[in-house]
Structure 1
Amino acid sequence: MACRCLRVDQLDSHVLDSEIRSIAQDSVDDFVNQMPVWVSRIFEKLRPELKITLEAVLWTHRFSRGVSPGQEQMDISYSGYTPKVITGHFLVEVFIPYLSRRVTELSGRLEIMRMYAKVEAIFELGSLLHFLYFLRSGGHSTLTESILSLRNWNNNQPTISSINYDTQNRELMWHAFRDVILLTYPFIEKIRQRVVKKQKLNRKFRSTMEGFDIECIVCDKPSVIPMIGQKCGHVACYTCIATSRKMICPLCSEEKEEQQMEFLAKKLKESSSILIDQ
């Protein structure tokens, strides 16, 4: 054993093991699908047993080589991974979850199923937290490895000539992506809050606008490009008052009170901007 391996090598070994397991499972499923229907139904009922049998076959590679197929490809291995430790690892990671799940399903008791679901959820949460800690600080890549004190090591000392720069680039990209998220999140959150506040104000102003008499006081029709008096609140079409150079309210001008008109949309926008700034 030369030194502890990188996190990315451990993750790659788990990905390779998962892919090998999926390929083997797909091959078994294809074989079962080619069988007669009555045989396929039997195998379907025994799917958990087929799955654990397949897992046991794949784990024979660990007993013969001392490493999983993924670890062998990445040239890493556990320290002190004896057949006794391998057996314990298989029991904790494969057999005990299968046995507990199978007993729960065959019992048919609702309270047992609920208890098992809670225990499984707690374990999944612990595994997630452990994985996040592993991404941050390294160490054991899975919760099972942490329980059994299994640590991945490089089989050979890495040298400058054999370093894979792709793995280094992935490490750098991961850290850069994390830093970008931490840097931009406060700005994104502030923009999101402003957008949400503006949407709420727009809904408020739309409901307020429904209270206005949007019928033009000149043509008695729905206002087109509505304009509103600054003080009187009368609404008229832009085309109806465009002939007046002073742009004043026609109704108020008859009463010898000149009220300047402005675009209704502009007034609502200005009011919205003032409230958002506040």
Structure 2
Amino acid sequence: MRVSQLDADLLDSELFGTFKEQLWLLFSPQIKQTFEPELLAILHFIYRLTVLESGATYGAQLQNLKYRNEKQHWGGLQSITKDSPLTTFQKFAYIAMTVGGQYIWIRISRLVIAQGWSELSEDDPRNIFWKVLQKVENIYKTVSLLNFLIFLYDGKYSTLTDRILSIRLVYARRIMNRQVSFEFLNRQLVWHAFTEFLLFIMPLINLRKLKNLLKRKLLPESYFRSNLLDFLPTHICAICHENQSASNASAVISSKVHNPYETNCGHKYCYFCIKTKLLQEGGTWQCLRCGAEVKEIKRLLEKLVEEEEENDRTNKGKQPAR
């Protein structure tokens, strides 16, 4: 019974939150900020009208619960099988306390905070009123905690309002067939196990290497030949050229080989570029110039210096005489 009552309160809170979200979509932020207590009070009043009609909230009805007049079941009348319905006074008092009480408290708190009554002198009546409000709030929280502890012990009144009005949630139908289905739980367990498996296996899979492997298996060789960059000069890094061409940058001017390394197929690349490709591909990579499989690289310093000197001499020889 305790679990059902707590679940009913939780369902009421979630349903009311859903209605509140839909309500805020209808108003601008300025109206929401100014009239939020009034709008919430109206919505809360509409939501609690089910107590007048059926003697239970929506959440309580979903949990097969209803309110009964506990005054009619005191003493020797506790064993009466027929539950006494709520009186008219209890129904309206319940709505007044849950809706009106909350609205009045919010409005008073807003007024006190907006006008800064807590910062006034201690002799000012408004400051004294603010201190009284603080004490009342602390007393209410303490009494609510004690009431909840008592509820956990006897399972009768889950809120102070229920205890004050002597109304208690009981089963609406005491004898009913309960069909327990674990379909949803099983589905959740399967999805949880599947997501855990994906989180474990995905870091172990080299998606880039798998993609390139599928491309080599499925696409014809003519596709790769048409995309080769063997036309580039030898002092240009094909990887830098490809990356900068994809970003619409000046590929030819800023794609010179830096810290050159030579592949086993005899082509030069920047060390950072070729090493990154090999790490991403898992140790092997397809050369952008000839399409061969690159497995090893070695540092190439002397040849590059000689080629640069030769290029400089060639460029100087081509300059026109002044």
Q: TM-score, normalised by structure 2?
A: 0.44
Query: Aligned-pair distance for 1:73?
Result: 0.8
Query: Aligned-pair distance for 1:56?
Result: 0.8
Query: Aligned-pair distance for 1:75?
Result: 1.4
Does structure 1 conserve the Cα–Cα contact (< 8 Å) formed by 2:50 and 2:58?
Answer: yes
Aligned to 2:13: 18
Query: Aligned-pair distance for 1:92?
Result: 1.7
Q: Which runs of 4+ in 1 moved over 4 A?
A: 163-166
Give the partner amino acid of 1:41: Q
Query: Aligned-pair distance for 1:66?
Result: 2.2
Which structure has more relative contact order (CA 8 Å, sep 6+)? It is: 1
Deviation string 1:12-61 (CA, Å, 9 cap, x unpaired) is 111111111111111112332xx4xxxx3133111111111110111122
Query: Within 5 Å, which residues of 2 pair with 1:162-201?
Result: 162=178
> Which of the residues 41, 46, 50 maps onto 1:61?
50
Q: Percent identity?
A: 27
> Which of the residues 40, 44, 49 maps onto 2:38?
49
Query: Aligned-pair distance for 1:165?
Result: 9.9
Q: Which moved more, 1:134-143 or 1:97-106?
A: 97-106
Greater Rg by CA:
2
Aligned residues: 154
d(CA) in 2 for partners of 1:163, 1:114: 54
d(CA) in 1 for partners of 2:110, 2:33: 15
Q: SS of the counterpart of 1:77?
A: strand
Give the partner amino acid of 1:76: L
Q: 1:164 to 1:133 in 2, by over 3 A?
A: farther
Query: Within 5 Å, which residues of 2 pair with 1:55-134?
Result: 55-79=44-68, 80-106=85-111, 108=115, 109-110=117-118, 111=127, 112-134=129-151
Query: Within 5 Å, which residues of 2 pair with 1:203-214?
Result: none
d(CA) in 2 for partners of 1:164, 1:82: 35
Q: 1:164 to 1:114 in 2, by over 3 A?
A: farther
Give the partner amino acid of 2:108: V
Does structure 2 conserve the Cα–Cα contact (< 8 Å) formed by 1:131 and 1:141?
Answer: yes
Give the partner amino acid of 2:175: P
Q: 1:100 to 1:157 in 2, by over 3 A?
A: closer
Q: SS of the counterpart of 2:66?
A: strand
Q: SS of the counterpart of 2:25?
A: helix
Does residue 145 (structure 1) correspond to residue 162 (structure 2)? The answer is yes
d(CA) in 1 for partners of 2:13, 2:159: 14
d(CA) in 2 for partners of 1:154, 1:163: 17
Query: Aligned-pair distance for 1:136?
Result: 2.4
Give the partner amino acid of 2:32: F
Q: 1:164 to 1:118 in 2, by over 3 A?
A: farther
Aligned to 2:238: none
Does structure 2 conserve the Cα–Cα contact (< 8 Å) formed by 1:140 and 1:150?
Answer: yes
Tell me which protein shows more helix as a share of its residues.
1
Q: 1:116 to 1:101 in 2, by over 3 A?
A: farther
Q: TM-score, normalised by structure 1?
A: 0.50
d(CA) in 1 for partners of 2:56, 2:22: 23
Q: SS of the counterpart of 1:162?
A: coil
For structure 2, the 5+ residue unaligned runs are 69-84, 119-126, 183-322
